[in-house]
Amino acid sequence: MPIVCSEAALQYSMGLTPTPAHAATEPQIQWLTTDMSSASVTIVGAGPSGLTLAWWLIQRGHTITVLERESIVPKDMRASTFHPATLDLLADSGLADELVARGTIVPQWQYLIHESAERAVFDMACLSDVTAYPFRLQCEQFQLTELLVARLAEHPSCSLHFDADVKAVTASTDGVQIQYQHHSQIVDADCDWLVAADGASSQVRKSLGLTFDGQVFPKTSITLVLDYPFEDDIANLLGVNYVWLPDRHYSLMRLRNTWRFTYSPEQDQDVDTALSDPVARAHIANISAAAAGATIRSRNHYTLHQRCLDRFCHDRVLFVGDAAHLNSPAGGMGMNSGIHDARSLADHLVPVLEGEDPVLLERYDRRRRTIAREEVQRLSAQNYARHRETQADKRQVIWRELQETVSNPVKHRDYLLDAAMIRSREREQTIE
């Protein structure tokens, strides 16, 4: 299979040259070559789901090819929360500790009524008997993908191809044919197993003509990244805050050197207006007049979907992460559940690669599809509704429930087992 490749990039892929510390972020490696037929699994998409899967498969002795449309690791402002159950999974190879070093540990998080400064504080210390990481780690998802690209690029069993835009896929019971574009070249290739980790707009999913049923949430989400030290200005601020004002809500999340501030457009307001400087700064001023003049490092808007495939396995094409299911980001579960998919798929696919009946993969499908629908979508939709409720009487009911939960140790722990995604990992193991 002809793929053009620079000599330096090829040496890099073979681990012949030392990895520069900044290799993961610099576009020095445009693409790497490999004989794809020698790889046992080809993964489309170098996001958190695809790269964790690649990592776990090479750890167990398999040869992997990763195809990524972009020329460098995408640095988008999406996930910022890693939950304890995910950190536990990433612990075995030291990834969790490297991430912790790049992020901010948040042992407590809260709902906060801005006017009265009343709080409902959740304290994750009560989970220390079931996780080695009893906290939310606030850390951008690209920190994980950069770490993994740096490790995978050095590994002789992994070939990373950037600028490889997958266009078409055909699957059968004994193999998969793919076509991708690399600059002006169209490349046709065969592979034994293909994993679609190519995100919400998955071209693999479209190419197979699969329906992705679900709904769009009514409100768009707008996220600003700000330099301002909100903690100096707002009393009792924690690392993760869901802030209620009488007629609206905000979320304010701390990252290492920045804060993320999230709001939604007003009723009938178009997204461009909602993103505009005066509107953005007016929202910030609602919680901190001083912060309204701060530098806005970035601003993005997201349409929120809840969708799920009917099956995660289609012959030899297997789906993980956002390519398979979508949920509201409220509560920070999308990336985490994609990483949980990756671990579960690795656990099921490895025995199949080593000779077991592929029927085993049906259990992967049952487990992760059930968790996506009955745990992740359910909990994140509840969070979406709870965070955004503005009707005074309904808010009062929610507030009472939150207070009852945080003041009752049994309810508190129960709530956090769900929020930390520990319960969904436990439930998954019980599904046959």
- Chain residues in the site for ligand FAD (CB under 6 A): 44-50, 67-70, 74, 78-81, 141, 164-166, 197-199, 203, 221, 223, 302, 321-322, 329, 332-336, 338
Closest separation in Å from C-beta 165 to ligand FAD: 5
User: Residue 239 Cβ, how far from ligand FAD at the closest point, in Å?
Assistant: 12
The three-state DSSP-derived secondary structure of the chain is CCCCCCHHHHHHHCCCCCCCCCCCCCCCCCCCCCCHHHCCEEEECCCHHHHHHHHHHHHCCCCEEEECCCCCCCCCCCCCEECHHHHHHHCCCCHHHHHHHHCEEECEEEEEECCCCCEEEEEHHHHCCCCCCCCEEECCHHHHHHHHHHHHHHCCCEEEECCCEEEEEEEECCEEEEEEEECCEEEEEEECEEEECCCCCCHHHHHCCCCCEEEECCCCEEEEEECCCHHHCCCCCCCEEEEEECCEEEEEEECCCCEEEEECCCCCCCHHHHHCHHHHHHHHHHHCCHHHHCCEEEEEEECCEEEECCCCEECCEEECHHHCEECCCCCCCHHHHHHHHHHHHHHHHHHHHCCCCHHHHHHHHHHHHHHHHHHHHHHHHHHHHHHHCCCHHHHHHHHHHHHHHHHCHHHHHHHHHHHCCHHHHHHHHHCC
What is the smallest separation between the CB atom of 248 and ligand FAD, expressed in angstroms?
17
> Residue 161 or 348: which CB sits closer to ligand FAD?
161
CB of 356 to ligand FAD, least distance (A): 26
Token reading at 158: 């992994």
- Taking the complex as a whole, how short is the minimal distance between the CB of residue 291 and ligand FAD, in angstroms? 20
Which one, 108 or 403, has the nearer CB to ligand FAD? 108
Shortest Cβ distance from residue 355 to ligand FAD (Å)? 29
Q: Which is nearer to ligand FAD, 67 or 291 (CB)?
A: 67
Q: How far is the CB of 117 from ligand FAD (least distance, A)?
A: 25
In the complex with ligand FAD, which residue's Cβ is closer, 373 or 395? 373
Amino acid identity for residue 168 in this structure: A
Beta-carbon contacts of residue 21 (< 8 Å; ≥ 6 apart): none
We find the least distance from the C-beta atom of residue 377 to ligand FAD, in angstroms, to be 12
Of 62 and 78, CB closest to ligand FAD: 78
Give the bridge partners for 225, in sequence order: 260, 298
Which residue, 165 or 315, has its beta carbon nearer to ligand FAD? Answer: 165
Nearer to ligand FAD, 118 or 374 (CB): 374
Taking the least distance from each CB to ligand FAD, the nearer of 6 and 181 is 181
Contacts of 393 (CB under 8 A, 6+ apart): none
Smallest gap from Cβ 85 to ligand FAD, in A, equals 11
Select 17 or 30, whichever has its Cβ closest to ligand FAD.
30
